[in-house]
Structure 1
Amino acid sequence: MSGYLDARTEEEKASLVEAGRLLFCRPCSFFFAAQRLDQLPPPALPEIAFCGRSNVGKSSLINALTGQKSLARVSNTPGRTKQLNFFDLGGRLTLVDMPGYGYAQASKSVKEDWQGLMFDFLRGRPTLRRIILLLDARVETKASDRAAMKLLTDAAVTFQIVLTKSDDVKPDRLRSRQEEAASLTRQYTAAHPLIVTTSSETGDGLPLLKAEIAALAEAEGPPA
């Protein structure tokens, strides 16, 4: 597995981690929401989008990264968010909270709308640097997760697997889940090889994820 911190000296790694810390110390605020493609804000800052199954901990992770308790809405009702929510991170980066997928009780039309809007957004957004694809460390990969990976691959958008809720998993089970995630990165050409294991509760993995995102904020050109 490789990422921006690999093949770096310890001094360089420390510098990248500090860059991530400083980036996420900047104020972050909601500025736009879109339910249709024609409602999207004009492309401007580099964008990092977060997606995953409903109730995977997406809002909690965004809140933990930005140090805000209620920036992204945390709901006990899976599948509640049905729009793309855009957040400005200190004028340097846009974070995009994508609707959750895979909720069993969601209507067929909602699922179809998700696939249509998401594919159009992914395929046509020039400022999109990477998708952060969240997988729950406590449970096995679902068919809906694999379907999302295929959609991302078909849209030719790089995605990076981030495991959530690692604090609620025993070490052996966590290692097994990490190995499963590593296997998935070899199955999809759009998958980034570095897997980040996180906990919004303890903060584990957040400095690494911040460093990766900070490096993408500085990157020029197409997604890496």
Structure 2
Amino acid sequence: MSSEKEYSAEQLEAGRLLFARHWDFITSVKEMHQLPDLGGVEIAFAGRSNVGKSSLINKLTERKALARTSNTPGRTQMLNFFGAEHTQLRIVDMPGYGYAEAPKGMVDAWTTLIFKYLRGRSTLRRVFSLIDARHGIKKNDLDAMGILDKAAVPYQVVLTKADKLKPGQLERVKEDALKILAKRPAAHPEVLATSSEKGTGMDELRAEIALLVSYG
């Protein structure tokens, strides 16, 4: 496994062009029958409730309020779909997990919805599993990865808030993550490090997503 991947100038430009489009909210889903029709390519973002998922989606698309950000973790309680004109890509913001104050019945409903979505969505190319670089992979992250492994959905770890660590610390977090991912059947063998605040790693993440779109 590797923590680094080199992208060509053409791949980086493809990523830039893909996300230079105007991205908009499509729909929110809390029951399977509400899902948009299959078609195109979907990617999804998953992570703990306070991992910075909404901030990353906003930075990725350069839309300040595309995905809701809140000081209250766990606000995203549905599958939120985003899209742009002239691209087959759709972005899915998945409910945050690990929000201790959410009622158990609500958490169970989220889990059921997510698993059904993962198992039944043939257009879903990859889930980006967001991990706070300051904390590394925790038990609830492993539990979520277990669901992805069981659903046989490819996923890739993306470290958030990487600017909060010194370079040496960040490399150790990457190495620790790669050791864990080496044992997971559906894990992608590379880790990306990002910062929504500084923009670090966003060009690479856009390029990676553009590659998934080009593969169809």
> Shorter chain as normaliser: what TM range?
over 0.9
TM (norm. structure 2) is 0.95
- Once the two structures are superposed, residues 48-68 of structure 1 have per-residue CA deviations (whole angstroms, 9 ceiling, x without a partner) of 100100010000000001011
The 5-angstrom pairing of residues 71-82 of structure 1 reads: 71-82=66-77
Q: What does 1:186-197 correspond to in 2, within 5 Å? A: 186-197=182-193
Which residue identity lines up with residue 130 of structure 1 in the other structure?
A: R
**Residue matched to 1:31:** 26
Please give the secondary structure, in 2, of the residue aligned with 1:199.
coil
**Displacement after TM superposition at 1:180 (Å):** 1.4
Please show how residues 95-174 of structure 1 align to structure 2 within 5 Å: 95-174=91-170
Which of 192, 198, 202 is the equivalent residue of 2:194? 198
Query: 2:192 & 2:57 partners in 1: Cα distance?
Result: 14
The letter of the residue matching 2:182 is R
Q: Following TM superposition, by how much is the alpha carbon of 1:216 offset from its aligned partner in structure 2, in angstroms? A: 0.5
1:22 aligns with 2:17: yes
Q: Which amino acid aligns with 1:142?
A: K
Partner letter of residue 47 of structure 1? E
Q: Is the 8 A contact 2:3 2:175 kept in 1?
A: no
Q: Does 1:45 align with 2:70?
A: no
Partner Cα separation in structure 2 for residue 196 and residue 20 of structure 1: 15
Q: Given the two structures, how large is their TM-score scaled by the length of structure 1?
A: 0.92
2:120 aligned partner, one-letter code: G
User: Secondary structure of 1:22's partner?
Assistant: helix
Please list, as runs of the form range in 1=range in 2, the aligned pairs for 1:80-91 lying within 5 A after superposition.
80-91=75-86
Question: 105-114 or 188-197: which moved more?
Answer: 105-114
* TM-aligned CA deviation for residue 155 of structure 1: 0.1
* Root-mean-square deviation over aligned CA pairs: 1.6
2:134–2:165 contact (8 Å) kept in structure 1: yes
The answer for the alignment partner of 1:9 in structure 2 is: none
* Structure 1 contact 4–215 (Cα < 8 Å) conserved: no
| Runs of at least 5 residues in structure 2 that lack an aligned partner in the other structure | none
What is the identity, as a one-letter code, of the residue corresponding to 1:131? V
In structure 2, the residue matched to 1:67 is 62
- Cα distance, 1:17 vs structure 2: 0.5
Secondary structure (helix, strand or coil) at the match of 1:102 reads coil
- Give the direction of change, closer, same or farther, for the CA distance of 1:107–1:115 in structure 2 (3 Å limit): same
Q: Cα 1:19–1:45, aligned 2, differ >3 Å: closer, same or farther?
A: same
Q: 1:218 to 1:2 in 2, by over 3 A?
A: farther
Q: State the AA in 2 paired with 1:84.
A: L
